[in-house]
Each structure stands twice: as C-alpha cells, then as structure tokens.
C-alpha cells in the first residue's frame, strides 16, 4: 500500500504543478500590466486571489479558516505565518481578502515567468547580503506606511523538520516596533501534510482540507531589545499552539 500511496502522491504533485503553470500562462497577459504598474496593483491582487482559489479548487484543496482580521482598510497589519509548504502562499491569498504585499526570499525573483509577481508589486529580501536586506526592510516600512498590509514568514524558509518551527528572525518584529503596527500570527496546520517540500517517494502529497488559524493580534509595546524578544516569542508561541 505504501508504494501505491507514494505513486499516487507523485502523480498528484505533477498534476498540481501542471495546473499551476497552465493557469499562470493563461493569466499571464493580464498579469503583465496589473503587476507592473502601481495604479493597478490592487486589481492585480484580486487577480492573484482568483488565481489562487482556482488552483486550490482544481487540485482538490479546501480551506477551513478559524479567526479573522477586520475586513477593512482602516488598520494596517503585519501578518506572520509559519512556513511549512509552498501551499502557504496560495492559501494566504485565498484566506485574506485585505490587500497585502508579500516579502519573499530573493531566489523567487529568479524563477522565469513566476518572477512577474516580484518585479514591482511584491518585495524580495536577500538575507545573505546585509546591505540589501536592510534596504528590503526600509522598503517594507514604506509599504506599511502607505497603509498596505505586509506578509513576512519569520522563519525565513521551510524548515527541514516541519512542522517544528525554526527560530524566528527579528526583522518583522523590528518593523512592528518601529511603526507600532500589530502582528497577526497565522498557523497553517495541515499544509505540510498536503504538499510536502520533498520529492521523496515517501513525501505526503494529496488533496484535502487545510486548517488555518488566524490568532489575535500581538501589539508591540516599548521599542527596546527586551520587548522585541517578547514580541517575537509571543508570536511564535501563538503559532505553535495550533501545531501538532
């Protein structure tokens, strides 16, 4: 049975990738103007949301969201989810109706065709280059000051021992302190069970339900190192509270 399950998982994973790239190519002519001119970014965001929900529908993944943030433009949030699968990105767009900018690793901007999402609208960070990483933080602050929400994965990458959390990096929490912006912790409970970051025959790849927990916001207090650590660890604890 295990080899049958593994074979079906590999077939489903190729199907998932096929759906992703075919729908991306079909929508690409619309993405070009909407994601390269700032005045069209919000329309581009709605197209990305439609695209994400279409992919999830076609591959058989349903979301179940517990909790919410106000569906209005009066409050700016810094959204911090755990990172357990590439499904996380699709489900962020599917679950959050509020406009947000995504801060991703610089490698994403090097993927042909896919990099359309990071040429203008979303942001990239090169953590191996301190100067470039600092500039990315400044750019992220500008986005938040304009009233847009911002998504940062505080782990920085998908951990090898998912679902266990990696240590959180400080960047998101420095931004929250500096701008006095609440952090919304998010737990993706099942994504690593649905689309595992591995091509092993034993990897888990299948349709199913993704449970998403949107926790109560964590508000920054004083702007000092002790408070930064408290903010970081409180966010991590809330995310971890819903992980098996």
Domains along the sequence of the chain with CATH = 2-240 (3.40.1130)
Distance CA 214, CA 187 (A): 7
Is 157 strand, coil or helix?
coil
Predicted confidence (pLDDT) at residue 222 exceeds the cutoff of 90: no
Strand partners, 103: 123, 152
Structure-token pair, residue 94: 């599917």
Q: How confident is the model at residue 73 (pLDDT cuts 50, 70, 90)?
A: low
Q: pLDDT above 70 covers what percent of the chain?
A: 98
Nearest alpha carbon to residue 152 among 212, 102, 107, 108: 102
What pLDDT, on a 0 to 100 scale, did the predictor assign at position 50?
A: 97
Predicted confidence (pLDDT) at residue 53 exceeds the cutoff of 80: yes
Torsion angles phi and psi, residue 125, rounded to 5:
-130, 135
Q: What does the pLDDT average to over 56-72?
A: 89
What pLDDT, on a 0 to 100 scale, did the predictor assign at position 4?
A: 76
Predicted confidence (pLDDT) at residue 201 exceeds the cutoff of 80: no
pLDDT digits (tens, 9 = 90+) for 130-179: 777 778 888 888 888 888 899 999 998 899 888 899 999 998 999 999 99
- For residue 183, how many other CB atoms are within 10 A of its CB? 26
Nearest alpha carbon to residue 160 among 102, 203, 114, 194: 203
Torsion angles phi and psi, residue 70, rounded to 5:
-55, 130
Q: How confident is the model at residue 83 (pLDDT cuts 50, 70, 90)?
A: very high
Predicted confidence (pLDDT) at residue 123 exceeds the cutoff of 80: yes
Predicted confidence (pLDDT) at residue 93 exceeds the cutoff of 70: yes
Predicted confidence (pLDDT) at residue 54 exceeds the cutoff of 70: yes
Is residue 170 a contact partner of residue 228, using CB atoms and an 8 Å limit? yes
Structure-token pair, residue 236: 């991590």
Structure-token pair, residue 3: 């080899």
Predicted confidence (pLDDT) at residue 129 exceeds the cutoff of 80: no
- For residue 99, how many other CB atoms are within 10 A of its CB? 15
- For residue 163, how many other CB atoms are within 10 A of its CB? 18
Q: Is 226 exposed, middle or buried (0-12, 13-18, 19+ CB in 10 A)?
A: exposed
pLDDT digits (tens, 9 = 90+) for 36-46: 898 999 999 99
More confident residue, 74 or 60: 60
Full-model pTM: 0.91
First-last CA distance in the chain: 25
More confident residue, 56 or 130: 56
**Residues recorded for the chain:** 244
DSSP labels, 88-122? HHHHHHHH--S-EEEEEEGGGGGSTTGGGGTTTTS
Q: What does the pLDDT average to over 89-116?
A: 88
Is residue 21 a contact partner of residue 58, using CB atoms and an 8 Å limit? no
Structure-token pair, residue 227: 């408070």
Q: How confident is the model at residue 72 (pLDDT cuts 50, 70, 90)?
A: low
């Amino acid at each position: 049975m295990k080899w049958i399950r593994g074979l079906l998982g590999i077939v489903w994973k190729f199907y998932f990738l096929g759906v992703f790239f075919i729908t991306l190519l079909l929508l690409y002519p619309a993405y070009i103007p909407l994601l390269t001119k700032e005045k069209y970014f919000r329309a581009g965001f709605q197209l990305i949301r439609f695209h994400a929900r279409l992919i999830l529908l076609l591959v058989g993944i349903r979301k179940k969201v517990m909790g919410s943030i106000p569906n209005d433009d009066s409050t700016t949030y810094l959204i911090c989810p755990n990172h357990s699968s590439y499904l996380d990105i699709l489900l962020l767009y599917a679950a959050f109706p509020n406009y947000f900018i995504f801060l991703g690793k610089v490698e994403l901007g090097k993927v042909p065709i896919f990099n359309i999402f990071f040429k203008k609208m979303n942001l990239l960070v090169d953590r191996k280059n301190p100067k470039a990483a600092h500039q990315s933080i400044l750019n992220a602050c500008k986005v938040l000051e304009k009233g847009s929400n911002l998504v940062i994965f505080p782990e920085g990458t998908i951990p090898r021992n998912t679902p266990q959390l990696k240590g959180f990096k400080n960047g998101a929490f420095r931004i929250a302190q500096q701008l006095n912006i609440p952090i919304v912790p998010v737990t993706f409970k099942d994504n690593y069970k649905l689309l595992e970051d591995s091509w092993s025959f034993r990897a888990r790849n299948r349709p199913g339900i993704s449970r998403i927990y949107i926790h109560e916001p964590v508000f920054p207090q004083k702007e000092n190192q002790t408070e930064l650590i408290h903010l970081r660890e409180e966010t991590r604890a809330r995310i971890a509270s819903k992980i098996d």
